[in-house]
Chain A
Amino acid sequence: MTSAPAAVSTALQLNDVRKVYTMGDGSDVVALDHATLTLGSDEIVALVGPSGSGKTTLCSIAGGILSATAGRIVVGGEDISDHDAKELTKFRQEKVGFVFQSVNLVPFLNARENLLVVDELGKRTGAAAKARADQLLDELGLADRAKNLPSQLSGGQRQRVAIGRALMNDPALVLFDEPTSALDTKLGEQVMELIQNEMKSRGTAAIVVTHDERITHYCDRSVHIVDGRLEA
């Protein structure tokens, strides 16, 4: 259990959150056990733990992908604890960004279109979204790769497109799921530097889920999770 020491406003508040799965034989498996966590509005937290410890479950609940069994979840000022599936979909469109472990860009869309897909699935702002996508690609050093398909990009460039996509909706919180697991050490460090710079420059909070203790120094603090329990 941990909290941000000096955050004026918060990007994420988890209070006593539990996630319990009922198995086929009727037994319960506790994936997240009374988790409490607060993130400041521009704080980057590394969520570290072994496989099966519950870190992706926590991430999924914070991102409105999973519903918690109990507890209170507030993201960017919006209490999503009792949101139904439709409300969570809208919440994901507007309040959070995701960078998935295997990047998961849409393979038949070019870099610019992969960013614009967020707008197409959400608010549909049209020209404003296009301007934002161009700006993000420029800031991420991908302006000359805007028309390239994911298959024509390197691993690092794909990771940058994924970061751009996560930032398209100007989220309160970005969730990175093992962002360096598929990269070599050098590229992994470059990606973490990029994440750090992008989040700090925008004042956006982030949770970086990782196994790798070596990248935690890019984050403001680390939170460990073991058997569904958070440890400072």
Chain B
Amino acid sequence: MKLALTELRRRPGRFTTATVILTLIAILLMFLGGLLDGLIASSTGAIRAQNADAIVYSDTAQASFVRSRIEPELRAIVETVDGVDEVGGIGNVQLGARVPGNGPRDLASVALFGYELAPDGVPDAPPYGQAWADETIKADGVEEGMTIEVGPARTPIEIIGFVADTNFNGQSSLWASPDTWRDTLSANRPDAQLAPGVFQGLIVRGDGDDLPAAIDAATDAATDSYTVEGAVDAIPGVAEQTATFNQIIGVTVAIALVVIGLFFALLTVERTSLYGVLKALGAKSSTIFAGLIVQAVVVTAIATLIAGSLVVILDLLLPPGSIPLLVTPGRLALSVALLIVAAVLGCAFSLRRVLRIDPASAIGTTS
């Protein structure tokens, strides 16, 4: 092991190629992971922010607000379920918004929510015609006190402040009173307008082991209820996005494994003579193989350190809202762990070759 570390220290040039390639792969891996996290965060923030024990949709909604309708009678049933303490209606409409100072075609994408129970980090519903906005809308030039015009009907909404991490479906959320939401929906989506008292979903607070199941049982399956985590996973497109990115990340890790495997296999071939000498001097195959693993892990650790630093710097340089990149310590640590595992597995390609090196090769067997 000491021998392997000494070689790394004295002959760094020998490992430069592998380090550069692994750094590029690590950047790709961390960037993809950051994009996945950013996309998921920007798609699910409004649901994750809910302080709820159950989120209730109508039975055929498939966890989509657009497809869901909760009539007052159904809500009344939910309110009587054992363990339910509070029930609040919620609705959503996704529209383009004109921002003062921007061009007529330069629309900001917004997801306007009407709510009765405030999510975490969002104050109580503001007066009619006003809304709290997710801070990502600042990238579109929106400032506090500004009035934007929402939808084709140009419904005016005054932005009275900002909240964080509440985006929905990749759009900046606006948090308004139920009346503001209902009127905006009616004005801009006449086909989807809802009568007073009708919501698209319910936010339920209470206790009990399995509140969503209890609610669905009480409504005789007229509702489709989830925990917050379940509702996040059920948002249309989230599972597909996650699966797609995870497949790309998996392929990237596999490529890293092959790169490390090939590099150290070539290095082993190049060192056959040296390893033969070391074996003749009494080195065990396990000692030599452990040295290879140490070198692979150190090279990978250096590559991921460089890559992690570059991705963090990139994240700091990117203007907010430009691309959905979310760099978190957890994602960086996971990327490092995946690449370290790939490095160790990649070295396994060389194990057979190391085992087969004959110490007799150090002095030849022909004379």
A89 to chain B, nearest CB (A): 6
Structural contact, A93 and B365, CB atoms closer than 8 A: no
Name which of A63, A90, A169 has the most chain B CB atoms within 10 A of its CB.
A63
Given the known inter-chain contacts A56-B365, A60-B363, A108-B6, please indicate yes or no for A121 contacting B273, CB distance below 8 A.
Answer: no
Q: Looking at the complex, which one of A56, A113, A121, A177 makes contact with B281 (CB distance below 8 Å)?
A: A121
Kindly state the separation between the CA atoms of A106 and B7 in the bound complex, as whole angstroms: 10
> Contacting A65 at CB < 8 Å: which of B10, B283, B362?
B362
Are the CB atoms of B362 and A98 closer together than 8 Å? yes
Among B11, B273, B283, B365, contact of A57 (Cβ-Cβ < 8 Å): B365
In the complex, A117 Cα to B11 Cα: how many Å?
17
- Tell yes or no: A76 within 8 A of B by CB: no
Q: Is the CB of A56 within 8 A of B367?
A: yes
CB distance B281 to A117 under 8 Å? yes
Q: How many Å from the CB of B289 to the closest CB on chain A?
A: 14
A113 to B7, CA, bound (A): 12
Chain B window 2-21, contacts with chain A (Cβ cutoff 8 Å), 1 for yes, 0 for no: 11001100110000000000
- Judging by beta carbons under 8 Å apart, are A104 and B284 in contact? no
Closest A-chain residue to B282, C-beta based? A93
- Tell me which residues across on chain B come within 8 A of A66, comparing CB atoms: 360, 365
Chain A residues within an 8 Å CB radius of B287 = 121
The verdict on A59 contacting chain B, using a C-beta distance below 8 Å, is yes
- Inter-chain contact A51/B367, CB cutoff 8 Å: yes
Whether B280 lies near A108 (C-beta < 8 A) is no
Residues of A within 8 A of B279 (CB): 89
Smallest distance from the beta carbon of B112 to chain A beta carbons, Å?
66
Q: Which of B273, B283, B363, B364 has the most CB of A within 10 A?
A: B363
B367 proximity list for chain A (CB < 8 A): 49, 51-56, 209
Residue contact A104 to B282, C-beta cutoff 8 Å: no
In the bound complex, CA of A51 to CA of B366 (Å): 7
A65-B280 in contact (CB<8A): yes
Alpha-carbon separation in the docked complex, A182 to B79 (Å):
95
- Size of B's binding interface in residues, CB under 8 A: 25
B11 close to A118 (CB less than 8 A): no
CA distance A65 to B357 in the complex (A): 12
Number of interface residues of A (CB under 8 A): 39
Chain B residue numbers with a CB within 8 Å of A56 are 363-367
Is B255 on the interface with A (CB-CB < 8 A)? no
User: Which residues of A have CB within 8 Å of B360?
Assistant: 60, 65-66
Do A89 and B3 touch across chains, with their CB atoms under 8 A apart?
no
- In the complex, whether B277 has a CB less than 8 A from a CB of chain A is yes
B77-118 interface (Cβ within 8 A of A)? none
What's the least CB distance linking B12 to chain A, in Å?
11
What is the bound-complex CA distance between A79 and B219, given in angstroms?
Answer: 86
Known: A90-B282, A92-B280. A109 touches B6 (CB 8 A): yes
A71 close to chain B: CB less than 8 A: no
Whole-angstrom distance from the CB of B7 to the nearest CB of chain A? 5
- Does B278 sit within 8 A of A, measured CB to CB? yes
Chain A contact residues, CB within 8 Å of chain B: 31, 49, 51-57, 59-60, 63, 65-66, 86, 89-90, 92-94, 98, 100-101, 104, 106-109, 113, 117-118, 120-122, 165, 169, 175, 177, 209
**Given A56-B365, A66-B365, 8 further pairs, Cβ under 8 A:** A31-B365, A56-B367, A104-B274, A106-B277, A106-B278, A120-B3, A121-B281, A121-B282
A sample of 7 cross-chain residue pairs with beta-carbon separation below 8 angstroms, ordered by A number, consists of: A52-B367, A66-B360, A92-B280, A108-B7, A117-B3, A118-B282, A175-B363
* 8 interchain residue pairs of minimum CB distance: A93-B282, A56-B367, A108-B10, A92-B282, A104-B277, A121-B283, A177-B363, A65-B359
